[in-house]
Every structure is written in C-alpha cells, then in structure tokens.
Structure 1
Amino acid sequence: MSNELRELRHARGWSQERLVREIETYANQHRLTVASRASLRVYVSEWENGRRPISHQYAKVLRSLFGVTDSELITGDTSGTGTVAADGYDDLINRIDSARNVSLTMVKTFMDQTELLRTIDRQMGAAGLVDQMTAHLATLEDALTFAVLPETRKPVALALAGASTLAAWQALDVGAVERAWRHYELGKRAAQEAEEPMYLAHATAEQAYVLCDAGRTALAIDLVRDARRTSHSKLSPRLSAWLHAAEAELCAKAGFQDDCRRALDHAESCLPEGTDDRDPDMLSIFLNSGHLARWRGNALALIGDEEAVSDLYDALEAADPTFIRATSGLRCDLAQAHIVRGEYDQAHEHLIQARLLANRTGSVRHRRRIEQITQQM
C-alpha cells in the first residue's frame, strides 16, 4: 500500500518543512498531541518514501490539510465510507424501516447541513471539509438506498443532488478531479430521480469545468449547451443566465470570441433585475448583476478585450467579502485583464493578493491558475 503525500504536497507548492509546520499549526489549533518537529521531519520523509505507514491520527490531520479522502491519500485503501453491509434480512428490514421514517423535517435538516457546509466553504475553503462532506453524502446515500416509495425517495434525492454538486466543486477546488467527476455523476443521477431538471442542468454544466480543466474545452462547451437545451423550458431565469455565462467563459477559453459575446448578451437578457443573488428555486445558484459583471470581465479578458478591466473593478467593489475563494478568482481575472493591456505592475499586485487568498482557502485550482498567469508576464 502506497500513499500520494508527495504529489499532494507538490500540488500545494509546499516543501517538506512547510508540511511539518502546517501539521504543527493544525495540531495546536485543534489541541492535538503530535511528535516533535525533528520527529515530524523524519515521519514526512518516511511517509513519502513508503517506509512508514501513515497512522490514523496523522491521516486525519493530512486529510484536513489537503482536502482529500482516505482513498486519495492512501492508494489501495478500500475502506469507503459510503458502503453499507446489510447483514441478513433483519438488518435490511431495519434499514428500510429507518429510511421510511425520514420526514420532510429531516430532509430540511439535510439541506440546512449542506447550506452550512457551503457557507464554511466559501469563507474558509474546501480543504478542511472533506471529512464532514464525506459523512454528509454517505448519510444521504444511505437514506436514498433504503428508501422504497417515491414520496420518500424524491425529497432525499433532491437533497443528495444539491449536496453532491457542492461536494464536486469542493473536490475540483482541491485538485481531486476524479472525485469531482464521480460526485457530479452522483448529483446528476439524484436529480433525475428527484425529477428536478434545474438541478440536473446545473450539475451537468458544472461538470463541464472538469472537462475544461482537463484540456477538453470544446467538449465542455457542448456539454453546457446540451444542459441548457435539454431543460430549456424548465429553467428559472437566473439559472438560464448562469448557464449562458458559463458557456461564455468556456467559449472565451476556447478562443470563440463571437460565441462568447453572444452568450454574455443572452446571460444579461435572462438575469432578473434587482440585487438578490439567490435563486429561490435553487439555492446553489448565486448570480446578480455584480456577479455577472465579474463573469463578463473574466470572459472579455480571456479574449483580449481591453474593456474587461472596468467590469472587473466594478465587480471587485460590489463583491461580498465573505466569498474568499471567489475574490481570489476575481483577483486572477484582474491580473489577466491588466496583462492584456500591458500593465504588468498592476497585474503583479493582483496576483500577490490572489495567491494570499488561495493559500488561505487551500485552493489548488486557483494556485494552478495563478502560476499559469504568472508565466505570461
């Protein structure tokens, strides 16, 4: 059995010494007892070289630091948390009876838990939430697996669809791309069972970003367009605007300037007026004119439009300060826009701020983007 610690550390841009310090900091914050610094240096080296197994105590610390599951930290770990071993008919019937007792109040509790995890994620990042998110999904999957009748299954499936999509975006943020893809597939299946086309369209469109990050941008564009066309008549105006904006960003990354501008115009025409940013029919959607200005500026910067800067500064001024990860992305957008105008000093200042925020949230995805933009200077 081997581990992926070295790769995870490199993805974060940490030295072994930095990892030792992070372990000490985490232990102090959570009142845990760990080995001395000198011993930790030896442990890290031996863990990475396969000479020492990672104990349960340190695995928990490392999972939180890197935002990974056991199976992603330890290659060959098959102890999955979502597997249910039903031992005989008595145990099966007990589980079915328990699932039948899941009430609408309990479903609301599940959705409130998802909302809490969403709030923590946007303020502190996804890396420290992997254990909580894994347990939350396992509970929802358990409830759905043993629910029998549609009136019980559909509300649970809806809660699972929302939680899975959030978990997928968190996994993508920390660089766990296969986990992200699997969570999106789970979210799509749950949305289909819940007969909720809006949740299906959203999960499908977000999954396109996995393809884009993997270098399959044209396929990602096709996927977003398919999500929009398939559910067109059943989408809320805000979700329609979100899908058009996502299409615009992906078209910009592919260099399709006309398609990008056309999608941005459609997004603006669909977006409801006012300052509200939450869709009452789908709380995972955050989009108002300020958010769209950021999205527009990002897309225009990607296609080399010098006017992107004004949109992005408007978005920065209107940004919710609790959206830490989003602000890091906005700083990246501004750096990109300034590079287009040849304003490298300003770009450098925004990259410094973006890197600080990305380090604060543990975003591997943003760190990768920061390095890509830095290479353009």
Structure 2
Amino acid sequence: MTNGLRELRTAREWSQERLVREIESYALRHTLTVASRASLHVYVSEWENSRRPISERYARILRSLFGVTDAELLGSSGLAIQPPSAEGYEELVNRIDSARNVSLTLVKTFMDQTELLRTMDRQMGATTLVDQMTGHLTRLEDALTFAVLPETRRPVALALAGAATLAAWQALDVGAVERAWRHYELGKRAAQEAEEPMYLAHATAEQAYVLCDAGRGSLAVDLVRDAQRAGGSKLSPRLRAWLYAAEAELCAKAGLPDACRRALDKAMACLPEGEEARDPDMLSIFLNAGHLARWRGNALALIGDGGAVSNLYDALEAADPTFVRATSGLRCDLAQAHLARGEYDQARENVVQARLLANRTGSVRHRRRIEQITQQL
C-alpha cells in the first residue's frame, strides 16, 4: 500500500520536521490552532503509517499546503479522514485544563523567552530566529486560546502582545511584510484583551512603518498619531517621547518637514532626563538622549537639514555596540546626511560600514536602503 501524505512530502523533498514547521506556519498565517510541535511530530508519523486518521482540521491544512484533493492526500493507504466526533471533547478539555494551570511563574518564563529573543535579535539579526519566534508565538497563542477566565487570560495576552510585536518587527526587517502586518494585528488584539493601552499604542505605531515602507506615508503618519491618541494619559513619558520620535521620522519620509520638526520638539520635551534608556513599564522601548539624537539626525537628514550630521555623530559615539542592527541604520543615516551635503567620500565610507553590519544581521530592510543610497553616489 502507498501513503499519499508520505509521497507528497517526499516529492517535495521535505523532512517530517519540515512538514511540521509548514503546518505551524500555515496555522499562524490563518489564525488556526494546532497541537504543539512535539505532538505534531507524533501525528505526522502516525498519519504516514496509517495508525491515526487525519482529522478534518488537519486535512484542510495539508490540502492547502500541497494543493491536492482528499484522494491525492490519502493515496491508497486506506487512511480515512476522521469526521468530527464527540472524542474531540476529550482533547479540548485536556487543553483547557492545561491552560488553567498556567501560572504567573510560567507567564514570566514566556516573557523571559521574549527578552532573550529580543537580545539575540538586536545582536545577531532576525533571520536566524524565525523558527524560534514562530514556536514561541504558537505556545503563547495556545495558552491564550484555551485559557477560560479573565484572570488567566490577561497575563498571557500581555506576554503575547509583547512577543507578537517583536516578531512583527523581525518579519519587517527580513522583508516578510505580510507576516509583519499579521503579527502586528495579533499584537494589537492581545494588547486589547490584556487591557494594556501602552502595548496597543506601541504595536499600532510600529505597524505604521509597514505602511511607510509600502509607500503609504500619509496613512502611516495618521496611524502613528492615532496610536498617540489611543494611549492618551496611560502612556509613560518615555513611550510618549518614542511615539513623537516615530511620528517625526514618518513625517520626514512623507515630505512633511514642519510637522517633522514639531514632533521632534515634542519628543525632546517628553523624554525623561538621565542616561537610563529602558522604559520599566514597556520593556521593548529603549530611548534616552543619545538614542533620540540619532533619531533626530535621521529625521533631519531625510528632510535635507544640514544640522543632521552633528546629531548623528553624537549618536554614533554614544551607541551601544550590542545594538548591531541599530548601528547599521545609524550608518545609513550618516551616509544619507553626507549625501545631502554633497560629501560623497564620507557617504561612501558610511555605506561600506552599514553594509558590513547589515550583512551580519541579515537585515533585508537595511540592505534595501543601502542600495537606494548607493544608487545616488
């Protein structure tokens, strides 16, 4: 007897591990719930050896992945599609019981994992973290999907909001714009359920960058301003300064120089004093005077202001060397600023440095910008 699933998989030269990852990826894109990775490995083996019928939920996913009919999926193995039955309640109840046992300690573990992935991302780039980030999101989504009561759901939703927003920025960095958009939507929904306006404002503002990169600058400006309004009085001073700095950059890219300068002034006025960069209420926000000097220089360079160069070199001197991707962006900003002043040698020198750093992190977004600057040299 042949097995259609095994034949389809081997025809694609996919391992069982690859098939499991494809199932997880499909489920993530279509907001579906699937079993854990360990369980999926067992399922795939049992499906291929005719020891477990394929439920209709998984059959739909497999048909879409391979572009086949049920007959082609099943081959001549005699393996049947399992219709929905009362037995599904046992699995559902088991998962609900597991979710009920999610404690604050486990939520802290989830958030610690997000923090580790954030640290790895800023030093190594996002390209090597796709599988880890996908698995992390899947576990958080499972925990939230099967949690019943609000006191359990809200902490998990908060952890998911932070992780989804990080995953979205990583996806944008590697050029996966649709995935980035979907992750931002997931982050916004999770922030709403967690009743955390700061997380909602942050996810919304970062999502504006997807619109900006897609050539919808005016809409991006509207969205970041909406994020500010939505946060209202609940925003911390550092996050409010971050939002104004983001508005300034987006205004610069949209060709709104006066609005850009006004937003920069507001950011300076909101930023807390001191060297501390991290917002204790919003761990994904890093912003102090040095960071803001870089952001200011970037925005001024985009609108052709000659004062950008000094701001950017101040920011470069103060830059944290572990922020590799941010430093690559800073070198791009400097190249852009020198180019605006007709200083081509200095622009080329910074482009070279930016390219080296972008190659280390695999940033598609920065590489695209480097190529755009290079074409002007």
Answer whether TM exceeds 0.5 for this pair.
yes
Match of 1:231, SS? helix
Task: Give the residue type in structure 2 aligned to 1:305.
Answer: D
Matched residue, 1:172: 172
Query: In percent, how many aligned pairs have the same letter?
Result: 79
Cα distance per residue 1:135-173 (max 9 Å; x no partner): 000000000000000000000000000000000000000
Cα deviation for residue 376 of structure 1 reads 1.6
Q: Give RMSD over aligned pairs.
A: 2.4
Check 1:76–1:121 CA distance in 2 against 1; reply closer, same or farther (3 A cut).
closer
Check 1:309–1:233 CA distance in 2 against 1; reply closer, same or farther (3 A cut).
same
Task: Give the residue type in structure 2 aligned to 1:108.
Answer: K
Structure 1 spans left out of the alignment, 5+ residues:
1-51, 61-68
Q: What is the correspondence of 1:270-281 to structure 2 with a 5 Å cutoff?
A: 270-281=270-281
Task: Give the residue type in structure 1 aligned to 2:12.
Answer: P
Q: Identify the match of residue 12 of structure 2 among 53, 58, 71.
A: 53
Matched residue, 1:292: 292
Matched residue, 1:367: 367
CA distance in 1, matches of 2:367, 2:22: 23
Cα deviation for residue 55 of structure 1 reads 2.9
CA distance in 2, matches of 1:72, 1:303: 43
Matched residue, 1:319: 319
Task: Give the residue type in structure 2 aligned to 1:363.
Answer: S
CA distance in 2, matches of 1:115, 1:285: 12
1:228 maps to 2:228? yes
CA distance in 1, matches of 2:112, 2:147: 20
Match of 1:321, SS? coil
Check 1:350–1:193 CA distance in 2 against 1; reply closer, same or farther (3 A cut).
same
Matched residue, 2:92: 92
Which TM-score applies when normalising by structure 1?
0.80
Match of 1:283, SS? strand
Check 1:78–1:323 CA distance in 2 against 1; reply closer, same or farther (3 A cut).
closer
Matched residue, 2:157: 157
Matched residue, 2:133: 133
Any conservation in 2 of the 1:71–1:78 contact (CA below 8 Å)? no
> How many residues are paired up?
318
Matched residue, 2:199: 199
CA distance in 2, matches of 1:356, 1:57: 36
CA distance in 1, matches of 2:182, 2:326: 24
* Mean Cα deviation higher: 236-245 or 78-87: 78-87
Check 1:283–1:374 CA distance in 2 against 1; reply closer, same or farther (3 A cut).
same
Match of 1:147, SS? coil
Cα deviation for residue 71 of structure 1 reads 7.9
CA distance in 1, matches of 2:31, 2:269: 45
Check 1:78–1:304 CA distance in 2 against 1; reply closer, same or farther (3 A cut).
closer
Q: What is the correspondence of 1:65-80 to structure 2 with a 5 Å cutoff?
A: 70=22
Matched residue, 1:116: 116
Cα deviation for residue 130 of structure 1 reads 0.5
Check 1:342–1:58 CA distance in 2 against 1; reply closer, same or farther (3 A cut).
farther
Check 1:372–1:136 CA distance in 2 against 1; reply closer, same or farther (3 A cut).
same
Matched residue, 2:34: 83
Task: Give the residue type in structure 2 aligned to 1:245.
Answer: A
Check 1:59–1:92 CA distance in 2 against 1; reply closer, same or farther (3 A cut).
closer
CA distance in 1, matches of 2:27, 2:143: 27
Cα deviation for residue 230 of structure 1 reads 1.8
- Greater Rg over alpha carbons, structure: 2
Any conservation in 2 of the 1:71–1:80 contact (CA below 8 Å)? no
CA distance in 1, matches of 2:293, 2:28: 44
Matched residue, 2:79: none
Check 1:181–1:90 CA distance in 2 against 1; reply closer, same or farther (3 A cut).
same
Cα distance per residue 1:288-326 (max 9 Å; x no partner): 000000000000000000110000000000000000000
Any conservation in 2 of the 1:355–1:367 contact (CA below 8 Å)? yes
Task: Give the residue type in structure 2 aligned to 1:355.
Answer: R
Cα distance per residue 1:211-268 (max 9 Å; x no partner): 0000001000000000101212110000000000000000001111110000000000
CA distance in 2, matches of 1:308, 1:77: 41
CA distance in 2, matches of 1:58, 1:323: 33
CA distance in 1, matches of 2:27, 2:99: 31
CA distance in 2, matches of 1:363, 1:57: 29
Matched residue, 2:344: 344
Matched residue, 2:190: 190
CA distance in 1, matches of 2:172, 2:33: 20
Which TM-score applies when normalising by structure 2?
0.80
Match of 1:154, SS? helix
Task: Give the residue type in structure 1 aligned to 2:175.
Answer: G
CA distance in 2, matches of 1:77, 1:98: 21
1:240 maps to 2:240? yes
Check 1:53–1:286 CA distance in 2 against 1; reply closer, same or farther (3 A cut).
same
Cα deviation for residue 53 of structure 1 reads 3.0
Structure 2 spans left out of the alignment, 5+ residues:
1-10, 36-56, 58-83
Matched residue, 2:41: none
Matched residue, 1:24: none
Check 1:253–1:362 CA distance in 2 against 1; reply closer, same or farther (3 A cut).
same
Cα deviation for residue 189 of structure 1 reads 0.1
CA distance in 1, matches of 2:168, 2:255: 27
CA distance in 2, matches of 1:219, 1:320: 32
Any conservation in 1 of the 2:24–2:34 contact (CA below 8 Å)? no
Cα deviation for residue 83 of structure 1 reads 2.6
Cα deviation for residue 57 of structure 1 reads 8.6
Matched residue, 1:269: 269
Task: Give the residue type in structure 2 aligned to 1:126.
Answer: A
